[in-house]
C-alpha cells in the first residue's frame, strides 16, 4: 500500500510515489531520491508550479522546521530537470 502525503505546494494529497521528498541538508534543500534520509521531510509534486507555490508561502521552512533562509537552488534545478526529462507523471 502506497501511503498518502500532502504536497506542500498545491496542498493536494497524493501517493508518496508521485511526490518528491525534500529534506534540508544544512540550509540547502535537496531531493531525497530514495525517500530514506532521516529527519523531517516535505513532500512536493515534481512540478515547477508546486515548487513555486511552496516557495511563495515559505512552506519548506515550516514543513522542515528550519528557520534559516533555505537555499532552494538545487531543488529548483532538480524540479526543472525532472520536468524536462518527461518523468513527471500526470497527477490530474
Q: Which residues bind Zn ion (CB under 5 A)?
A: 7, 9-10, 45, 50
Cα angle 35, 2, 43; round to 5: 45
Structure letter (DSSP) for residue 1: -
C-beta of 31 vs 50, nearer to Zn ion: 50
Give the three cell numbers for residue 34. Answer: 530514495
Give the three cell numbers for residue 12. Answer: 493536494
Least Cβ distance, residue 64 to Zn ion (angstroms): 16
Least Cβ distance, residue 32 to Zn ion (angstroms): 17
C-beta of 7 vs 64, nearer to Zn ion: 7
Amino acid at each position: 500500500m502506497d501511503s498518502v502525503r500532502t504536497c506542500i505546494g498545491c496542498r493536494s494529497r497524493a501517493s508518496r510515489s508521485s511526490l518528491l521528498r525534500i529534506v534540508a541538508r544544512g540550509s540547502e534543500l535537496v531531493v531525497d531520491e530514495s525517500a530514506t534520509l532521516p529527519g523531517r521531510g516535505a513532500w512536493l509534486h515534481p512540478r515547477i508550479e508546486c515548487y513555486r507555490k511552496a516557495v511563495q508561502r515559505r512552506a519548506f521552512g515550516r514543513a522542515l522546521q528550519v528557520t534559516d533562509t533555505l537555499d532552494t537552488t538545487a531543488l529548483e534545478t532538480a524540479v526543472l530537470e525532472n520536468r524536462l526529462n518527461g518523468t513527471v507523471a500526470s497527477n490530474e
